[in-house]
Amino acid sequence: MPWLLALRGIVGREILRFLHQRERFLGALVRPLIWLLVFAAGFRAALGVAIVPPYQTYIPYEVYIVPGLLGMIQLFNGMQSSLSMVYDREMGSMRLLLTSPLPRWWLLVCKLVAGVAVSLLQCWAFLLIATLFGIELPGPGWLTVLPALILNGIMLGALGLVLSSTIRQLENFAGVMNFVVFPLFFCSPALYPLYKMRESSETLYWICEINPFGHGVELIRHALYGQVSWPDLGMVTAVALVLLALAVRGYDPRRGLMKRKGG
């Protein structure tokens, strides 16, 4: 019961914080909508009206980038969660939370689940608005994409936890976020298929191939059409477990940032 109470309390706190921060909600939606409505027109003119994604069906370019924009939402949400961790640590609330009698790894898992729950709210709001603009997605895809979004959210949330365990000051967060977010996003099939990237640069293509964020996008893309990409599923799962282990180690007072700061 104490474990479930901690989970409910942390998740509820994060959801209430998100609902009270309307600017954060609007920012999470405006960013992918701009890419969807503005940049899609330019990319469609350059790449053609339709492209051939891995499942070998022709779809409009606006539909192709929807999984990439869902990944963008979860990526920025993971970074936002890490920012809140740094802020809570400076304010002292994070230290108070970590001194509870529950295992530290469970508290980090609760924080991770809370971040995933917030990202799911943002993703479904984006999908709803996208359909209002005429983006047609498979009806069952709204449900089949859920496991992919959860797993991808766990991976990106764990990445945020790792970053928050290494950032000592809030002022350093913006630079670190730009250094992480933009390479992950642009070196991925979020905006363009990888075979197009390969036509341009073989080296850049292989960089995109080993990008875990790209595998998360492909996992979401297949899930929207009721398919499972097993290589992408294995990669995302493995990276999520490794990042979560690194986050738990980073918040270990005997090894991580808490020890270096004398906490």
- Region 13-42 average pLDDT: 79
Instruction: Give the model confidence (pLDDT) of 50-59 as tens digits.
Output: 555 444 566 7
Instruction: Give the model confidence (pLDDT) of 118-140 as tens digits.
Output: 999 999 999 998 888 888 888 88
**CB crowding 145-183: b at 16 or more within 10 Å, else e:** beebbbbbbbbbbbbbbbbbbbbeeeeebeebbeebbee
Mean pLDDT, the chain, as a whole number?
Answer: 83
pLDDT at 258 over 50: no
Strand partners of residue 60: 50
Q: Where are the beta strands (DSSP E) in 57-126?
A: 59-60
18-22, 104-108, 229-233: the lowest-pLDDT one = 18-22
More confident position, 185 or 253: 185
- Region 19-48 average pLDDT: 74
What is this structure's pTM? 0.88
